Every structure is written in C-alpha cells, then in structure tokens.
Structure 1
C-alpha cells in the first residue's frame, strides 16, 4: 500500500492490549537507532523510532514512566505499559510536542509506514549488521 494513500487513523496496542493508540497522520520521520541504549531497549541490534507530533496521536490506557539522561544532556522519558512492559513512546520533557513512537502496528499493510529512512548511531552498531544500501546513515545523532 502506498503510504501517501494510507487511511488514517491507524490503530495499535501493546502486547496485552491495555494501552492503545490512534495515529492520525504520517510520522515526520522514521529512524533505526543503533546506540547501545536502543540495543538494550529493543533486545535487538537496533530500535525503530517514528517521530510523531503529539497532536497527531491519541492514547488510551494507563502508562508508567521511566527517565534517564541522554548523551546530549537532555532527558529521555519513556512511557510503557505497566502490565506487559511494552514501550509505547519516548519524549524529551523540554519538547513535549514531539513523541518518539516505539510501538508499531503489526498489520503488514501499515508496516511500510514505519520503514526507517535513516540509520543513526552506526558507530555503535553490531559489526555483523549491514545498513541497507542507499539508506542514509549517521555516526551519531544528526543535528
């Protein structure tokens, strides 16, 4: 399905279904992050993050929050389901209008919307992973 013809809103939920969301517009960008923190988060070689405007998404359900400082000195706050533990999104409290959506729908027609257009923090990537040819890559976080 062409992502420009996709019907919104798109629905998704955490593993147990207690938290859900309606995404009302296409993400601003989608990145695969290879930093060691994202590798821990994803229990995989990288984590896929979709940057969405807070006004473009509606959440329902109870979420807990965890925070840490990032290398830049910003706060990285994470919202997650208190029952199944799925990460829902991250955000910087200093910029609450931009959310870094972690939870994606599993519908194959919708997943194309979440294909990374850039790979970041590749200086920390696993040596056996190859960034796809033609995809933009950055050693750290682009400015």
Structure 2
C-alpha cells in the first residue's frame, strides 16, 4: 500500500495526525447514517489499532447508539466539523479512521461493503469485494 507513516488533517488543518501502519482493512458503509455523514452514497472507514495513529489538535466528541445497541462515537474538528474517526467506547483499542482525511488517499481501496441493503440504487458494487446486507 502506501509509505508509512502517512499524514492526515481536517479541512482547516486544526487537527493533524500520522497513520503509522497499514490499516487492518478498509470498508465502505452504505447505511443511511453514513450517507448523511458523507453527503454521498457511502462512507469509507479504515480499521486500525488505536496505537497506530498519533493525533494533534483539539477533537470534539459526539455519539449515538447503533442498531446493535453499541455506541458509535465520533471525534471531529470543532472548527471545520470534519470527522476524523469513529470508535466504540467498549472497544477503545480499535478506531475507525476516516481515510479521506489523509493527504495521500491512494490506500483507500475498500475490500468490504456493508449495509448494502440501504445502498443507493445508482451505485454499483465493484466485483471481487465482500458484501454484507447489514453489519459484518
């Protein structure tokens, strides 16, 4: 994939980070909440160990319950509102990095698509990826 570490930042540059290693995997989520988040057909998440990312700058917090009953918490820039990562407080060792905030986005190659039961009709899932109707 890329040459690590990779640098990332929010839109205004108030939050920066370094991704120290390759993500465990990258997923595209087509649920309605992710469509709202991305203002597009899906959002992209890179699953990484929490220790694989070094953050700088102030991060604001927001959370909601998911369909499974887990908490889906989000960290974002309080100035520009750009989401940086999500996480489940019950599993603080793993974060769901929003990799479109990386300076080099060439690592964004989702191998799994989830919540395709809520996918936009106009979007076609690429061949050769794993597909889940709901959560994996």
TM superposition score normalised by structure 2: 0.96
Aligned-pair CA distance for 1:68: 0.2
Question: Which one of the candidate residues 73, 76, 87 is aligned to 2:72?
Answer: 76
Mapped to 2, the partners of 1:18 and 1:26 lie a distance apart of 24
Partner of 1:133: 127
Note the C-alpha offset of 1:113.
1.4
Aligned residues: 135
Q: CA deviation at 1:112?
A: 2.8
1:31 alignment partner, SS class? strand
Q: How far, CA to CA, are the matches of 2:95 and 2:3 in structure 1?
A: 21
Q: CA RMSD in A?
A: 0.9
In structure 2, the gaps of 5 or more residues are none
TM-score after normalising by structure 1: 0.91
- 2:12 alignment counterpart: 16
In structure 1, what is the equivalent of residue 56 of structure 2? 60
Divergent runs of 4+, >4 A: none
Gaps of 5+ in 1: none
